[in-house]
Structure 1
Amino acid sequence: MSADLVVVGAGVVGAASAYFAALAGLRVVVVERGAIAGGTSSAGEGNLLVSDKEPGPELDLALYSQRIWRDDLAEHGHLWEFESKGGLVVAASEGSVAALRGLAVHQRRAGVEVHDVGRAGLRDYEPHLDGLLAGGAFYPQDAQVQPMLVAAHLLRLARERGAQVRTRTEVTGFLRDGARVTGVRTPGGDVAAGAVLNAAGTWAGDVAGLAGVRVPVLPRRGFILVTQPMPPGTIRHKVYAAEYVGDVASSDAALQTSPVVEATAGGTILIGASRERVGFDRTMSVPAVATLAAKAIALFPMLRDVRAMRTYLGFRPYCPDHLPVIGPDPRAPGLWHACGHEGAGIGLSVGTGKLISQALTGAATDLDLTPFAPDRFAHEEAVA
């Protein structure tokens, strides 16, 4: 079997990359060692956020991805429950409010729409919020999708354009022509290709290692609580505490929790977010879940009387500098990467996929890929 592009990984990032590559006329084969969206994509909240990002390359990619979600993919939005609900960031102290205002000034200059919200205005957005909060900021561009539906439908749309998807197919090695990567090896046979895209999520570092290159993607565990279904409008937006922004940018390996609360189309309420680096340990952490519940109740006291139905966990693909790895790898020509998006992968997936398809076909990319270069960690390796 041969193709123009082999995509390794059938999560949302791999699915978006496959879709845009097929749309550009490339012959695409997707190989996935498990099931579609079986990794990180099945364990997130489906957030499409600009609110939690400081100005820089990641915010640029988030704003670009917003245009893809809302324009290029607008006709398909109903398939994955696209909901332009907006995000409300809340602060418990005047100091935190001041910090939010300062961040908003810089975000506006980068193209983010932000509305300052005073203490008295918070309940106009969310009637059930605790009355002692000091203020906040509202971000109309924040949105939500159902990530497993995104992956499934983007791959279906890619198949309609000729792509092939092979699940339960693990990549065990690469075909090489000298230094150049020319395809993948799998237990079901080799697949020759002009390019191979590593979109393997938290396992992207292992896949890169098969080609003899280092991409420092590590797992960062997080838990989510799911409540019983609630009446429509109980929680109207994505709501999170101001410290969430700092937790996202932190490199601390220890447990961090900051309350993130939002409703789904089915009425359940999702409560996050925790972060800790514990490898691939899937052990339930009662302290993490209990802290999430307590902090959510501090934001919305009425949650004290709401039953939690279940909890689940996942692993964010984390890079040390908090930027994804996107583009061709000069250390192994023919190998490309689209990984390391951490907790922002759902939102950034479609922008990543379109940029990859542009670069693969020789077109000028809509964003400069230099900040996301796969070999940007070479200095660290030399120092080590």
Structure 2
Amino acid sequence: MPGSPPNPRSSSRRTTPSARVGPRDAGAVAVNPSRWDVVIVGAGIVGAAIAEALAGTDRSVLVLDRSRGFTGATGRGMGHLVALDGSPPQLELCRLSLDLWRRKKWREAVQWNPAGTLWVAESNEDLDVARAKKAALAAGGVDSDLVTAAELRRLEPLLAEDLAGGLLVPSDAIVYPPAAACQLLEDAAQKGAKIDLGATVTQVGGGRVRLARGEDFFSRHVVIAAGWESSHLVQDLARGLRVLPKKGELGITWRSPLHVRHQLVELGYMRSTHASSGDSVAFNAQPRPDGQTLIGSTRSLSDSTRRVDPKRFARMMERAVRFLPFLSRQSLVRCWSGFRPATADHLPLIGPHPRDPTLLFATGHEGLGITQSLGTARLIADHIGGRSLAMDWTPFLPGRIPEGSDHE
């Protein structure tokens, strides 16, 4: 993969787990070190959230990850906390998660920014999309405001002057994902979870987790939160549902006195998100705390390389300049690529394996993993704890597609 995305945080603030959550030196050790109540495979934002939700109970919790930093989607995404209306279940999970995000007390540590989302209409046809989006959000309990062309220019003076208007969702927010995941892991460790980084899992199933270094762990519940690599851990996941790596690219500018105020997204974004083949680009821009602008985004299911594709990236930047002309005069400090964990029906996999109840999935969130991490963790914790679920997770259950069906 290209060089890691730039860290906009000052050097005095950590964005990778500290020694307190390093291999074998954090959290409570089970009475039998090979037996745990819950083993979580994956220490990205979703796995970290599940660990934090389960730690501090009467259950022993172990988190395993082959990386010692956030090298997957958590370390390479935008950190946009968004109520997305792709479908009613998707929106409900977003809303549950956003409510949980707002209750967190460590906002400064994760660079919390209640900027809201400004969905931008390029044309009158896009304004029709904005009205439909407003209605869908309202049905899901999310407030939003239609914005005229004049109001759009007042809210974001740097936007192109010929845009038609937009839709403002003031309750959306922004976080810095590596810092958020780091905070969740540290909170989990302080409450008794053990975090083992640098531990490569090679096989799971039947309540057993095997590591490349030869160890076996046994657990009542094994949670797979390994992003797009989840398919490699459970081979028969490919028979019916697969987690697909959907490539994306981002770029970030140098610091500048010119910067946007909201998370900006074009209203054609959902067409890009739901593209089932080929490459697509859509305008997406995020203000960073130090005056940088984070620019996206691209999507590709056909490109499995780890390098930034220059043609696709150029298309993305052309789209960005169309909405934010000032970017044509800005220099990029870096660009990078990453892979979103996607499913063919655009819904995450959350819940037990249909034939192995010891296996629980928490993956396939595509571009909503940061937003939906806390809600996903709540559902997994409710299930393991034997409580009523915070919402109906039927649409997300791994067994929703008949086994053996062609679901690519």
TM-score, scaled relative to structure 1: 0.93
Matched, 1:151 2:181: yes
Matched, 1:54 2:86: yes
For residues 44-75 of structure 1, the C-alpha deviation after alignment (integer angstroms, 9 at most, x for no partner) is: 0011111x42341110000000100002x2x1
1:56-75 to 2 correspondence within 5 Å? 56-71=88-103, 73=104, 75=105
Q: Distance in 1 between matches of 2:66 and 2:304?
A: 17
How big is the shift at 1:159?
A: 0.5
Gaps of 5+ in 1: 176-180
Corresponding residue to 1:239 among 222, 242, 264: 264
Q: Distance in 1 between matches of 2:290 and 2:55?
A: 32
Q: Distance in 2 between matches of 1:59 and 1:93?
A: 25
Matched, 1:7 2:40: yes
Q: Aligned Cα RMSD in Å? A: 1.8
How big is the shift at 1:284?
A: 2.2
Asked if structure 2 preserves the Cα contact closer than 8 Å seen for 1:54 and 1:103, the reply is no
- Percent pairwise identity: 32
For residues 312-331 of structure 1, the C-alpha deviation after alignment (integer angstroms, 9 at most, x for no partner) is: 11100010000000011131
For residues 326-357 of structure 1, the C-alpha deviation after alignment (integer angstroms, 9 at most, x for no partner) is: 01113112000000000110110011011111
1:246-257 to 2 correspondence within 5 Å? 246-251=271-276, 253-257=277-281
Corresponding residue to 1:169 among 179, 199, 202: 199
Gaps of 5+ in 2: 1-33
| Amino acid corresponding to residue 359 of structure 2 in structure 1 | L
1:178 alignment counterpart: none
How big is the shift at 1:92?
A: 1.2
| Amino acid corresponding to residue 107 of structure 2 in structure 1 | G
Equivalent residues, number: 374
Corresponding residue to 2:78 among 42, 45, 51: 45
2:232 alignment counterpart: 206
For residues 143-193 of structure 1, the C-alpha deviation after alignment (integer angstroms, 9 at most, x for no partner) is: 111111111111111001111111111111236xxxxx2220113411111
How big is the shift at 1:379?
A: 5.2
How big is the shift at 1:36?
A: 3.5
How big is the shift at 1:375?
A: 1.3
TM-score, scaled relative to structure 2: 0.88
How big is the shift at 1:219?
A: 0.4
Asked if structure 2 preserves the Cα contact closer than 8 Å seen for 1:86 and 1:141, the reply is yes
Task: List 4+ stretches of structure 1 deviating above 4 A.
Answer: 210-214
For residues 179-210 of structure 1, the C-alpha deviation after alignment (integer angstroms, 9 at most, x for no partner) is: xx222011341111111000000101111217
| Amino acid corresponding to residue 39 of structure 1 in structure 2 | G
| Amino acid corresponding to residue 235 of structure 1 in structure 2 | V
1:19 alignment counterpart: 52
Asked if structure 2 preserves the Cα contact closer than 8 Å seen for 1:323 and 1:340, the reply is yes
Q: Distance in 2 between matches of 1:352 and 1:91?
A: 31
* SS of 2:96 mapped into structure 1: helix
